[in-house]
Amino acid sequence: MIHRDEFGVQVHALLEADRFRDYGPNGLQVEGRPEIRKLVSGVTASLALIEAAARAGADAILVHHGLFWRGQDGRVTGWMKRRLQVLLAHEINLFAYHLPLDAHPQWGNNAQLGQKLKLSIDGRFGEQDLGFLGTPAQPLTVAALTALLQYRLGRAPVVVEGDGRPIRRVAWCTGGAQGYFEAAIAAGADAFLTGEISEPQAHYARETGVAYFACGHHATERFGAAALGAHLAERFGLEHQFIDIDNPA
């Protein structure tokens, strides 16, 4: 068991949350009961996750995508009202860590994805050093990396083949990091993996020869919250459950 405030202080320090310029507040977003015994982790603070956490008897939810983002108009109506209503009715604390959870060298989404793909991590790139660089045990073909991603993530990636060179150096950044592709190319990658693709990246891939793999925003960001939740549960003697709410995006 741990007090909510102590939990927040510890997680904030572990993730070095103050280092990041982010799109929303990191840390405690909605205050619940003071004591945490049961922690539920998940990717996004959706209504489905909040309701599942309430059914599971959670005292706190730990997510990558919280409720509050820059650009919202701040009104508590519609879906926002429903999500807050369930959280507040059950006195569940909501902790959200966005970029700090992508970046953490051990528990972060990028580190965890690299581990799942058996890439040895040897560098960082891109804005705020969120992108990771690594190498596979042996050079991969586009087909082999596609098959590995499908096996590890449970879904087929959208692939834009480059010039067919062997993939020795991989750059990746989970989620909606299509904007990191040019930095990945500049960093010398043979392939770039992220969650999503937008129209321009297909052309960059064809014109630079660097293969592009869009593997799913949710699919690439499923591992950080689960790994961090398990670690925190062990450290603070909590019960922990990762609840995956499937998302085709």
CA 231/CA 94 separation, integer angstroms? 18
Q: Tell whether the torsion through CA atoms of 33, 34, 37 and 42 is positive or negative.
A: positive
Q: How far apart are CA 104 and CA 51, in angstroms?
A: 28
Q: Which stretch binds Zn ion (CB under 5 A): 4-12, 47-55, 86-94, 175-183?
A: 175-183
Output 109 or 241, the one with its CB closest to Zn ion. Answer: 109
**Is 114 or 162 the residue whose CB approaches Zn ion more closely?**
114
Q: How far is the CB of 64 from Zn ion (least distance, A)?
A: 6
CB of 84 to Zn ion, least distance (A): 21
Nearer to Zn ion, 162 or 224 (CB): 224
Closest CB to Zn ion among residues 4, 104: 104
Only one of the segments 18-26, 47-55, 112-120, 170-178 lies at the binding site for Zn ion (rule: CB under 5 A); that segment is 170-178
Which segment (26-34, 55-63, 202-210, 216-224) binds Zn ion by CB under 5 A?
A: 216-224
Residue whose tokens read 């699919």: 219
Residue nearest to Zn ion (CB): 175
Write the CB contacts of 175 (distance below 8 Å, at least 6 apart in sequence).
102, 109, 194, 195, 196, 217, 220, 221
Decide: is 224 part of the binding site for Zn ion (CB under 5 A).
Answer: no
Candidates 79-87, 168-176, 177-185, 202-210; binding stretch for Zn ion (CB under 5 A) = 168-176
Which region, judged by CB under 5 A, interacts with Zn ion, from 7-15, 34-42, 138-146, 169-177?
169-177
Among 114, 175, 224, 229, binds Zn ion (CB under 5 A): 175
CB 126 within 8 A of CB 180: yes
Altogether, the residues listed in the chain come to a count of 249
Residue ranges that bind Zn ion, judged by CB under 5 A: 175, 221
